[in-house]
Amino acid sequence: MPDGQVIDFAGITKRFGGITAVDGFTARAAPGVVTGFLGPNGAGKTTTLRMLLGLVAPTSGRATIGGQRYAQLKHPLRTVGATLEASSFHPGRTGAAHLTIYAQAAGLARTRVDEVLGLVGLADAAGRKVGGYSLGMRQRLGLAYALLGDPGVLVLDEPANGLDPEGIRWMRGFLGQLAREGRTVLVSSHLLAEVQQTVDALLIISRGRLVFQGALNELADPGEYATVVDSPDRAALAAALAEAGIGHDVLRSGFIAHGAGTADVGAAAAAAGVALSLLQRRGPALEEVFLELVDGIRVHETASPVSTPEATSAVMHVAPDAEVETERADDLPPASTPDPDPDPDSDSDSDSDSGPGSGPDSDSGVEEPTSDAGEPEEPPVGDRPWEDYVKTDADHEADAFFASYDDEADSAQQPATAPADEERREADEEAEPGSTEAGDDR
Residues that bind ligand ATP (CB under 6 A): 16, 19, 21, 39, 41-47, 190, 324-327, 385
Q: Which is nearer to ligand ATP, 323 or 422 (CB)?
A: 323
Q: For the CB of residue 315, give the shortest distance to ligand ATP in the complex, in Å.
A: 10
| Of the candidates 68, 196, 209, 188, the residue with the CA atom closest to the CA atom of residue 139 | 188
Q: For the CB of residue 324, give the shortest distance to ligand ATP in the complex, in Å.
A: 5
Q: Which is nearer to ligand ATP, 35 or 231 (CB)?
A: 35
Q: For the CB of residue 296, give the shortest distance to ligand ATP in the complex, in Å.
A: 16
Q: For the CB of residue 409, give the shortest distance to ligand ATP in the complex, in Å.
A: 37
Calculate ∠ Cα 372-375-379, nearest 5°. Answer: 115
Task: Please name every residue paired with 164 in a beta bridge, in sequence order, or none if there are none.
Answer: none
Rg (CA), the chain: 26
Q: At what angle do helices 111-119 and 95-105 cross, to 10 degrees?
A: 130
Q: Which is nearer to ligand ATP, 40 or 283 (CB)?
A: 40
Q: Which is nearer to ligand ATP, 194 or 341 (CB)?
A: 194
Q: How many helices and strands (H and E) does the chain possess? A: 13, 13
Enter the DSSP assignment of 351.
-
Q: Where are the alpha helices (DSSP H) in 377-416?
A: 393-406
The answer to whether 401 and 417 have CB atoms below 8 angstroms apart is: yes
Q: For the CB of residue 308, give the shortest distance to ligand ATP in the complex, in Å.
A: 22
The answer to whether 346 and 71 have CB atoms below 8 angstroms apart is: no
Q: For the CB of residue 279, give the shortest distance to ligand ATP in the complex, in Å.
A: 38
H or E segment and range at residue 120? none
Q: For the CB of residue 138, give the shortest distance to ligand ATP in the complex, in Å.
A: 16
| Of the candidates 53, 8, 2, the residue with the CA atom closest to the CA atom of residue 32 | 2
Residue 353's Cβ-count burial label (10 Å; 0-12, 13-18, 19+) is exposed
Nearest-angstrom CA–CA distance, 258 and 246:
9
Q: Which is nearer to ligand ATP, 59 or 72 (CB)?
A: 59
Q: Which is nearer to ligand ATP, 190 or 234 (CB)?
A: 190
Q: Which is nearer to ligand ATP, 123 or 191 (CB)?
A: 191
Enter the DSSP assignment of 303.
S
